Structure 1
Amino acid sequence: MRIPGPAHQEDGGLSAVADAGGLHRYQVRLHDAYGPVVRLQLPGADAVVSICDPVLLEAVAHLDERPPGLFAFLDPLCEAGNLQVLGAEEHTPWRRVLLSVLAGRPAHERHFAGFTEQAVLLADRLAARPEGEPIELQQELAALSLRMICGFALGGADAGTDADRVVAAFEEVLTERLGRLYRVPRTDPRPAARADEALAYLRAAVDRAVAAHRAGERAGPGDLIGALAEAGESPARIRDTVMVTLLAAHHTTGVAVSWTLHLLGRHPEAADRVGAELDRVLGGRAAPDYGDLRRLTYLDMVLKESMRLFPPGPYGAREATSDLAVGPYTIPAGTAVFLPIRAVHLNAAYWPDPERFDPGRFAPGAAAGRPRLAHIPFGFGPRGCEGAALATVEARLVLAVLLARLRFSPAPGHEVTPVERFVLWARDGIRMTVRPRGR
């Protein structure tokens, strides 16, 4: 049976993505029109099949290769080969090292006090701002997340890295590369030169951090550089891994927390319930300890629902290495398999009234009967996000510290518009006003 989809486009799908307002919207529009399995074109891959049904996704959950064309925009960040498209034989041992550092509770507990200190400093800074003065949360939280991952992955050896400048440099590089991929018309004659300057700054910043790492130190929990060195990775691969880890980690946590605060600002009844839970669990303390996180059940429900509506990474991709049967269809070997995470999360067959914010969807027992791949904010399978556990710990902690003290409200007149830019970013930021709780 032929897989349904739009007519062939001479521009490789560029105009369709642009007309929809971005790939995060195009995926939803396609599946609404053609069903759970769709054939399409995307910049970087002419033969693509997208699957938005979580039951059908099980047929591709084992895939361990990625289509290089769809991730080529990240090539400049890596000198020893794009880490997003490493072949399975190289990727598997590399992933094992990352999981040993990023996914373990001992590493999280070792760095929890440092994470807490950074989160409390941000809360102090926000509390000191004039009440009613809008703040741009997206940038604030991305910078906070970067400081946290520097302390975690680099053993604190950030060599004086300016987190705000690093965040801006990543955005400069990604905006230029994605603009090139989607052939966005350029009004500024110097975007490529600026992106090159930003990339050079990033590499120098990472080099300083690597150089500051104590020579000869055995890898311990949360020591990414040491673990990679012990595994025999080359200096170039170590630097590439640090670059990609900083990029992914600061985006994931910062974006997830930003969207969660945005949603709570528009649903004050949910914010009240989070606040009551924090009062009960923390008992007046400024921050939770590691063991408290598992007791913040409603906060966890809110975070999961936020990442359903606004998954930080709105899509993924794999490559079929052999013919695959998916429902009544056959996906030929060599086809790029698109994982439309946002469309999966808005699939009304599994999420009634899918665009409504409802943390109750994640109440204990609510997932019974729901397919395991219905909620995949960190992807799944052998290419799922290695930092998922760490990002979740960081996000819960930051939300707990901020929401225990502060109330966030939408800035009057500011419209928040999601755009796809490696992550699901807000085009003009997420501006909110802050006041102490109870006022």
Structure 2
Amino acid sequence: MDIPGPEPRADGGVGAIAAAGGLHHYQLRLHAEYGPVVRFQLPGVETAVSVADPVLLEATAHLDERPERLFAFLDPLFEAGNLQVIPAEEHTPWRRLLLSVLAGRPSHERHFARFTGLATALADRWAEQAGRESVVLQKDLTALSLRMICAYALGGEAADPDGVVAAFEEVLTEHLGRLYQVPDGGSRQERAERAEAALGQLRTMVDQVVAAHRSDARTDRSDLIGALVGAGERPARIRDTVMVMMLAAHHTTGVAVSWTLHMLGRHPEAAARVADELDRVLGDRAAPDYADLRRLTYLEMVLKEAMRLFPPGPYGARETAEPLVLGDYEIPAGATIFYPFWAVHMNPDHWPEPEKFVPERFTPEETARRPRLAYIPFGFGPRSCEGAGLAMVEAELVLAVLLKRFRFRPVPGHEVIPIERFVLWAADDIRMTVSPRIPG
């Protein structure tokens, strides 16, 4: 059976994507019009097939190759090969090593106090703004998440953590600015030179941390660089791993937290229930311990529902090495299988009234009724996000610190419009007023 989809366009699909407001919104339109499996044009890809049915997605869960051309814009960031597209035989042991660190409780607990300090510092700054000016959620929270991942990836041992943050922002602004054609100051050559200098600065800082680990002969498996050094990874791969960690995590946590606060601001009854849970679990304490997170069950449901409605990374992609049968369709070898996370999360067959914010969708009973891949904010399969567990710990901690101290309300007249900026961003950020809350 032929796969349905729009008629091919001479521009390779660029115009249709732009007219929809970006690839995220385009996928929602395609699946609403053509159904759960859609053939479409994607610049730089000969055959692209988007799948929004979680049952059909199971047939693709084994795929372990990403289409290189879609990730080529990241090539300049890496020295030993683009870690987003390294071959499966190289990727598998590297992934196993990362998971041994990122997914483990020892690693989370090792950095929890530092994360708490960073979140509390932001809360203190917002407390000074309360009643005087609104807070700008995505700007402030992505800066926080970048500081958190720098502390994590470098073990808190960078001589100049603020310099690391500034250098990484310089690099990212240049490379994502090119991808999304975002205007920035200076000529293209000047911007490229600044980014190259910042990249060199970052690599030097990572080298200094690696050298300290080598001199101490540390192999602590709860420490990222320690584990990479202990595994005998070459210096260029260690530098690349730190870079990809910062790239993947610097926006994700901050964006997820900002959309969660946005939804709680629009649903005060859910915000009140979160506040009651925090008061019950934490008592008079301003921040949770690591062990408290598993008791904040409603907070976790709220976060998951916000990530369903606004998945921080709204799509993924794999490449078929051989023909693949997908329901009634046969996908040829060499095709790009597109995972539109947002469209999957808005599939009405599995999410009744999908546009509504209903945290109770994530009770254990409701979760058990849905297909495994109906909810995929961190992807799935052998290329899913290695840092998913760490990201959830960070996001729940930040939300707990902020919601224990503040009530959040939307700024009247401020319109929040989701747009594509590598992650699901808001066009003019998310501006909210904060006011101190009285526990109980």
* Structure 1 stretch displaced more, 50-59 or 131-140: 131-140
Please state how far the C-alpha of 1:189 moved relative to its aligned partner.
Answer: 7.0
Separation in structure 2 between the aligned mates of residue 283 and residue 172 of structure 1, nearest angstrom: 42
Per the alignment, do residues 191 and 258 of structure 1 end up closer, same or farther by CA in structure 2, a change over 3 Å counting? farther
Does residue 190 (structure 1) correspond to residue 191 (structure 2)? The answer is: no
Which residue does 1:321 correspond to in 2? 321
1:70-128 C-alpha deviation (Å, 9 max, x unpaired)? 11121121121111001101100111111111110111111111111111111111112
Please state how far the C-alpha of 1:212 moved relative to its aligned partner.
Answer: 3.4
The residue type equivalent to 1:205 in the other structure is: L
Alignment of 1:42-81 (within 5 A): 42-81=42-81
The residue type equivalent to 1:175 in the other structure is: L
Per the alignment, do residues 275 and 263 of structure 1 end up closer, same or farther by CA in structure 2, a change over 3 Å counting? same
Which residue does 2:173 correspond to in 1? 172
* Structure 1 stretch displaced more, 324-333 or 243-252: 243-252
* Structure 1 stretch displaced more, 94-103 or 189-198: 189-198
Does residue 26 (structure 1) correspond to residue 26 (structure 2)? The answer is: yes
**Do 2:101 and 2:222's aligned partners in 1 also have CA atoms closer than 8 Å?**
yes
1:200 to 197, 202, 205: 197
The residue type equivalent to 1:363 in the other structure is: T
* Structure 1 stretch displaced more, 310-319 or 101-110: 101-110
Which residue does 1:212 correspond to in 2? 209
The residue type equivalent to 2:314 in the other structure is: P
1:391-411 C-alpha deviation (Å, 9 max, x unpaired)? 000100010011001111112
SS of the counterpart of 2:386?
Answer: coil
- CA RMSD for the aligned pairs? 1.8
1:313-332 C-alpha deviation (Å, 9 max, x unpaired)? 10000001111100000001
Which residue does 2:371 correspond to in 1? 371
The residue type equivalent to 1:207 in the other structure is: T
Separation in structure 2 between the aligned mates of residue 189 and residue 30 of structure 1, nearest angstrom: 38
1:254-296 C-alpha deviation (Å, 9 max, x unpaired)? 1111111111111111111100000000011011111110000
Please state how far the C-alpha of 1:173 moved relative to its aligned partner.
Answer: 2.4
**Do 1:173 and 1:196's aligned partners in 2 also have CA atoms closer than 8 Å?**
no
Separation in structure 2 between the aligned mates of residue 19 and residue 412 of structure 1, nearest angstrom: 29
Per the alignment, do residues 429 and 219 of structure 1 end up closer, same or farther by CA in structure 2, a change over 3 Å counting? farther
Does residue 123 (structure 1) correspond to residue 120 (structure 2)? The answer is: no
Separation in structure 1 between the aligned mates of residue 188 and residue 432 of structure 2, nearest angstrom: 30
SS of the counterpart of 2:146?
Answer: helix
Separation in structure 2 between the aligned mates of residue 249 and residue 185 of structure 1, nearest angstrom: 21
Please state how far the C-alpha of 1:197 moved relative to its aligned partner.
Answer: 1.5
Per the alignment, do residues 186 and 177 of structure 1 end up closer, same or farther by CA in structure 2, a change over 3 Å counting? closer
Separation in structure 1 between the aligned mates of residue 219 and residue 140 of structure 2, nearest angstrom: 31
Per the alignment, do residues 78 and 264 of structure 1 end up closer, same or farther by CA in structure 2, a change over 3 Å counting? same
Does residue 13 (structure 1) correspond to residue 13 (structure 2)? The answer is: yes
**Do 2:168 and 2:202's aligned partners in 1 also have CA atoms closer than 8 Å?**
no
The residue type equivalent to 2:16 in the other structure is: A
1:49-79 C-alpha deviation (Å, 9 max, x unpaired)? 1100000000000100000111112112112
Per the alignment, do residues 127 and 398 of structure 1 end up closer, same or farther by CA in structure 2, a change over 3 Å counting? same
Separation in structure 2 between the aligned mates of residue 49 and residue 281 of structure 1, nearest angstrom: 46
Please state how far the C-alpha of 1:176 moved relative to its aligned partner.
Answer: 2.4
Please state how far the C-alpha of 1:200 moved relative to its aligned partner.
Answer: 2.9
SS of the counterpart of 2:420?
Answer: strand
Number of aligned residues:
435
Separation in structure 2 between the aligned mates of residue 109 and residue 318 of structure 1, nearest angstrom: 33
Separation in structure 2 between the aligned mates of residue 125 and residue 326 of structure 1, nearest angstrom: 52
* Structure 1 stretch displaced more, 389-398 or 187-196: 187-196
**Do 1:12 and 1:46's aligned partners in 2 also have CA atoms closer than 8 Å?**
no
Which residue does 2:139 correspond to in 1? 139
Per the alignment, do residues 397 and 187 of structure 1 end up closer, same or farther by CA in structure 2, a change over 3 Å counting? closer
The residue type equivalent to 2:319 in the other structure is: E
Please state how far the C-alpha of 1:207 moved relative to its aligned partner.
Answer: 2.2
Structure 2 residues not aligned, in runs of 5+: none
Separation in structure 2 between the aligned mates of residue 221 and residue 165 of structure 1, nearest angstrom: 28
Separation in structure 1 between the aligned mates of residue 182 and residue 279 of structure 2, nearest angstrom: 51
Please state how far the C-alpha of 1:438 moved relative to its aligned partner.
Answer: 4.0
Alignment of 1:17-416 (within 5 A): 17-162=17-162, 165-166=166-167, 168-179=169-180, 184=181, 190-191=187-188, 193-213=190-210, 214-216=212-214, 217=216, 218-416=218-416
Separation in structure 2 between the aligned mates of residue 368 and residue 336 of structure 1, nearest angstrom: 30
1:153-193 C-alpha deviation (Å, 9 max, x unpaired)? 211122213265246325412432313xxxx5979772464
**Do 1:132 and 1:435's aligned partners in 2 also have CA atoms closer than 8 Å?**
no
* Structure 1 stretch displaced more, 14-23 or 155-164: 155-164
Percent identity reads 64
Structure 1 residues not aligned, in runs of 5+: none
SS of the counterpart of 2:382?
Answer: helix
Separation in structure 2 between the aligned mates of residue 207 and residue 224 of structure 1, nearest angstrom: 17
* Structure 1 stretch displaced more, 337-346 or 93-102: 93-102
**Do 2:130 and 2:433's aligned partners in 1 also have CA atoms closer than 8 Å?**
no
Separation in structure 2 between the aligned mates of residue 388 and residue 114 of structure 1, nearest angstrom: 19
Which residue does 1:419 correspond to in 2? 419
Which residue does 2:437 correspond to in 1? 437
SS of the counterpart of 1:322?
Answer: coil
**Do 2:213 and 2:229's aligned partners in 1 also have CA atoms closer than 8 Å?**
no
Please state how far the C-alpha of 1:372 moved relative to its aligned partner.
Answer: 0.4
Q: TM-score, normalised by structure 1?
A: 0.95
